[in-house]
Structure 1
Amino acid sequence: MHMIDRALRSIASSALLSSLALAHLATAAPARAQAQAPAQQAPLLAPETVMLTIDMGPGEPPLAVTLAELMQVFRVPGMSIAVVKDNRIAFSASFGVTEAGGTTPVTPATLFQAASISKPVAAMGALWLVERGKLSLDADVNTQLKGWKLPESPLAATRKVTLRRLMSHNAGLNVHGFAGYAQGVPVPGIEQILDGKPPANSPAVRVTVEPGTQCIYSGGGVTIEGLMIRDAAGQPFEDFMAARVLRPAGMTSSSFAQSLPPELAARAASGTGPDGAITPGKWHVYPELAPDGLWTTAEDLARLGIEVSLSREGKANHVLSQAMTREMLTPHCPDDSGKPGGIGLGFGVGYGGHPGQFRHNGANEGFQSLMFMDADKGWGIALLGNSDSFSSIYERIMKVVGDAQGWQYQARQPREGDLLLVIAARRGLDAALAHYDRTRNGKDDPSVLNLLGYRLLRQNQVADALRVFERNAALYPADANAWDSLGEAHARAGNRKAAIRNYRRSLALDANNANAKRQLEKLER
């Protein structure tokens, strides 16, 4: 069951990632860092930059881990970064290669799938139409959709599904996200997606909770938003977005088209799975354009952040007015922890007591991304990577760059399971397990070793994954998920009887474990 700093050091731009070869990573390829910065400044980031230092305990030297080493550990072939200061792009850099095992270097012109960062970009298109009276934020969406309609539900008898609620994930709709479609398979139209009809690979988008009562992230809802944009604009979504959002914001290397124009396709990176293998067909196609369809560069994403930041102050407004931009960056669905911030119209906004900050991340098959801006201070960062594991790196990059720049924000710490994976890659699994034993301090948290086990399993290090899952089950024998994960590892190793035994153990602890039931049905045939 899946559950799922030292000071910066400068080097010359275009430095070869000569330290980027760890013997056990067969998919590693030579990579170059291409940095752009004023000649009088040192690059903010380099392959040799120490991203974290791990205390290994008494008598052991600390483990200093560089950016190049993190890319190796998490099987990230390439990445691109753009840093904003005073609402200008102050620094951009690219690292690695466009395809696992390849030699073509990532450059600032390389395109990546932005995944869910598509959502706030789409929101800007919808708000452009709102400002011109072509859409309403607060009317029932069914009064604005011209063809397909959202089926009526007693849950929405009083509170209606509205555009405002779609954009703030407060409309009570299902379908968190989409898997996309492999190259060459039939691709559904938007109405088929919304109704869950073949060849769609996702459920129908429907009201499952009373609208306006809960923050429930819904890519399905944003798909309806995309249909509303198409209907109101009277033209294909991707054409409208190019004309009214992307080009006015200066995003000249970006597109929602899933059949990329040849000039852009030639610059596109290939996706990478957690095992370091190229995504079959290089990338998936996402007909769900509004929630997932954007192809872009880090510099273009930074330009988008600058556009929004300046428009909030009435200094750009190439897409939205100052008033509408401020509305976009106002929390409409609050943080359920009771802290300041929440979900605006597209972006997550105002977390950690910083009302000017807005952000979004994303994950498509083989790609992950992050954009973060502070409109009060005029700083920000955009990060794109061609790997399913890039999120384990990008928060560290933001921390290192942010500390160097003096940014104030709510930093996210590395997950303990990911730190253990780094230790295992650098000093061996025994060292990682010893570190876990030393730092556990009596905490009952089976998720740490579970994450490490799945990282190893997805990197095809099956024997090591089995050792980790066995240790986890021994430490937490009452945890149903620990036994479920051990069952999965044994099944992956071809140990059928052991897999059945462990799935049964999990089911005895949690009779509602649907995954264990499904796996036992397959194994006991």
Structure 2
Amino acid sequence: MPQTILSAAPDRRTVLGAGLTGLVASLTWSTTAGAAAASTGIDDLLDVSARTYGTVGYSVAVLRRGRLVYSRHAGLSDRETGAPITDASVFPLFSISKLFLVVELLKARQAGLIDLDEPLGAIRTGLPEAWTRITLAQALAHVSGLPDYIPDHVAPTEDQAFAAIEALPLRFAPGTRNDYNQTNFLFARKALEQATRTPLTTLVEHQFRSVGMRRTSYHVEGQPRLKDVVSSYRPAPGRARPPLPYVSPSWPAYTFGSRGVFATLPDLVRWSQELLRGGLIPLTDLRESWSPFTMPSGDAAWHTHGWEYFRHDDVTIVGHGGDVRLVWRHFFRHADPDDSATVIYLDNGGRTTFDRHRLATLIADRVMPGAARKGEEQEEALYRGLVSGRWDQAVAAVAATIPADRLEATVNRVGYDAMNILDADAALPVFRWNAERFPNSSNAHDSLGEAHRTAGQLDQARESYRRALTLDPSNARLKATLNDLDHPTRPR
């Protein structure tokens, strides 16, 4: 049986948390029967998540219409010393740090200091010709096509980082595809500092102080260790043993446009409330930055103005994640942007990796029904079943509750979750189940073939792809895939 790390650790839950009492709180909301049920629902969701994934420790806060309605700390800041997660626990925010830069960019635009449509050639000289006409807005939406300066290591200086990639071709024509990478935010930081004639760290540190964030700052990771910073953990190989301690590599200060901020949960709640009431930038400018970035295809990019962006039904979701284990997400309805929920989820790692964005969405759904899209509860139940060795029981339970067409799509999505978050071997049982349950579905066999191919099982991949093509004989992509498998290109 997998070890449950959380069970031996203290749990500090507060609705309108004791350590957050100086913040705006909704006393009316917190005393209703609905609030009590929502709080219990969030508790249950977090408990089962921590048990299943072996989370070492976490902090969570939930805002409804900008008001704090739930907060909780549970588990350990450090497994060796037994120190608990508390209000004082400091988390490295990784890419959530980008949001503080985004706020400064929006402030500079509102002041008339910067044009987000300016070309990258106006931000940095000596760029390859193909880069110069890409706009800052395209970089912020991660549709620039630029190569990433962080393939395997981080260069000591910004000039060296650019030198390492300037001869590389664009990954795609700018504006035509989504491709998240860190080079985009090198330009964002540079543009901001040129426009304001002020270092990013100075601007953002003032932002922190203006909202009372006393435990938040930029820091070069590991030099020296900050007081009360949580220890980090990564899954052990095979994910069957307790997670291993992990020391995040030290990144130079020029990367601070993308990362580098360390913060506590109470400080992030303060920042969120100030942001959502219009105290950092006017609400009209903030909400305009949450409008989609539309690509030539008509599709919305996955980012807009530096925010992650997703829309379903009548709900828009914006925010950012950090190192796959931290999430800041804001949910609002199109007809009434004030009808909103904000979730801050921070953990320090665990036995296995999972989709923290989905967990944050399900938390939001407990206080703002409809925040989660249809099927996300079932997807999370299936994924938990898979990683806990109870796939058959989990899929049987879900299959009994939803129609066949939704079942196939839901299982297929979980298969890709497993392949992207874990590995192809973990995904194979999921795709195999779908192909057996829906033998006449070309897509089910296609997905199984992709998993076999990714796992290096080429004979099984050919078999699955051929079955998919038999069911969909006009599918040109399947024909091309089989041709690639049967006639692989030889390296020169």
TM-score of the pair, normalised by structure 2: 0.70
Question: Counting helix residues as a fraction of each chain, which structure ranks higher?
Answer: 2
Structural mapping, 1:135-214, within 5 Å: 135-145=114-124, 148-153=125-130, 160-169=133-142, 172-174=144-146, 187-194=155-162, 196-197=164-165, 206=170, 208-211=172-175
Distance 1:75 1:236, change over 3 A: farther
What do the CA deviations read for 1:430-477 (whole angstroms, capped 9, x no partner)? 323434654574438377267359749987997x87654543454567
Per the TM alignment, residue 369 of structure 1 is displaced from its structure 2 partner at its CA by 1.0
Secondary structure of the corresponding residue to residue 61 of structure 2:
strand
Structure-2 residue corresponding to 1:445:
408
Per the TM alignment, residue 27 of structure 1 is displaced from its structure 2 partner at its CA by 5.4
Secondary structure of the corresponding residue to residue 97 of structure 1:
strand
Structure-1 residue corresponding to 2:261:
294
Correspondence 1:371 to 2:333: no
Structural mapping, 1:426-437, within 5 Å: 428-435=390-397
* Residue type at the aligned position of 2:52: V
Report how many residues are paired. Answer: 447
Distance 1:438 1:346, change over 3 A: same
Give, in whole Å, the separation in 2 of the partners of 1:359 and 1:268.
26
Give, in whole Å, the separation in 2 of the partners of 1:302 and 1:214.
34
2:366 corresponds, among 400, 412, 417, to 400
2:40 corresponds, among 46, 49, 63, to 49
Per the TM alignment, residue 270 of structure 1 is displaced from its structure 2 partner at its CA by 1.0
Per the TM alignment, residue 394 of structure 1 is displaced from its structure 2 partner at its CA by 2.1
Give, in whole Å, the separation in 1 of the partners of 2:163 and 2:94.
22
Correspondence 1:471 to 2:429: no
Moved more, 109-118 or 425-434: 425-434
Query: Is 2:96–2:328's contact at 8 Å kept on the other side of the alignment?
Result: yes
What do the CA deviations read for 1:393-413 (whole angstroms, capped 9, x no partner)? 22222222335xxxx746564
Structural mapping, 1:475-490, within 5 Å: 475=437, 479-486=445-452
Distance 1:323 1:241, change over 3 A: same
What do the CA deviations read for 1:186-217 (whole angstroms, capped 9, x no partner)? 6443344445449xxxx958473245x77765
Give, in whole Å, the separation in 1 of the partners of 2:41 and 2:284.
42
Per the TM alignment, residue 290 of structure 1 is displaced from its structure 2 partner at its CA by 2.2
What do the CA deviations read for 1:349-390 (whole angstroms, capped 9, x no partner)? 7956879x76213141x5231321656257533222334413
* Residue type at the aligned position of 1:166: A
Distance 1:174 1:235, change over 3 A: same
Give, in whole Å, the separation in 2 of the partners of 1:131 and 1:457.
39
Give, in whole Å, the separation in 2 of the partners of 1:345 and 1:465.
34
Query: Is 1:340–1:351's contact at 8 Å kept on the other side of the alignment?
Result: no
Q: Percent identity?
A: 18
Give, in whole Å, the separation in 1 of the partners of 2:31 and 2:310.
31
Secondary structure of the corresponding residue to residue 283 of structure 1:
coil
Gaps of 5+ in 2: 19-26, 470-477
Gaps of 5+ in 1: 1-22, 53-64, 492-498
Give, in whole Å, the separation in 2 of the partners of 1:426 and 1:50.
21
Query: Is 2:101–2:189's contact at 8 Å kept on the other side of the alignment?
Result: yes
* Residue type at the aligned position of 2:396: A
TM-score of the pair, normalised by structure 1: 0.66
* Residue type at the aligned position of 1:369: V
Query: Is 2:118–2:135's contact at 8 Å kept on the other side of the alignment?
Result: yes
Structural mapping, 1:78-477, within 5 Å: 78-85=57-64, 87-98=66-77, 103-131=82-110, 134-145=113-124, 148-153=125-130, 160-169=133-142, 172-174=144-146, 187-194=155-162, 196-197=164-165, 206=170, 208-211=172-175, 217=180, 219-232=182-195, 237=200, 239-259=201-221, 262=224, 264=226, 266-273=228-235, 275=239, 278=243, 281-285=246-250, 288-311=255-278, 316-317=279-280, 320=281, 324-325=285-286, 327-329=288-290, 331=291, 333-334=293-294, 344-347=304-307, 351=311, 359-364=318-323, 367-372=325-330, 376-377=338-339, 380-387=342-349, 388-389=353-354, 390-403=356-369, 409=371, 411=373, 413-414=375-376, 416-423=378-385, 428-435=390-397, 438=400, 441-443=403-405, 445=408, 448=411, 451=414, 455=418, 467-468=429-430, 470-475=432-437
Task: Note the aligned Cα RMSD (angstroms).
Answer: 4.9
Distance 1:450 1:358, change over 3 A: closer
Distance 1:166 1:485, change over 3 A: closer
Give, in whole Å, the separation in 2 of the partners of 1:412 and 1:370.
21
Give, in whole Å, the separation in 2 of the partners of 1:258 and 1:168.
26
Structure-1 residue corresponding to 2:21:
none
Structure-2 residue corresponding to 1:56:
none
Moved more, 130-139 or 115-124: 130-139
Query: Is 2:88–2:228's contact at 8 Å kept on the other side of the alignment?
Result: no
Distance 1:324 1:430, change over 3 A: closer
Secondary structure of the corresponding residue to residue 217 of structure 2:
coil
Moved more, 114-123 or 480-489: 480-489
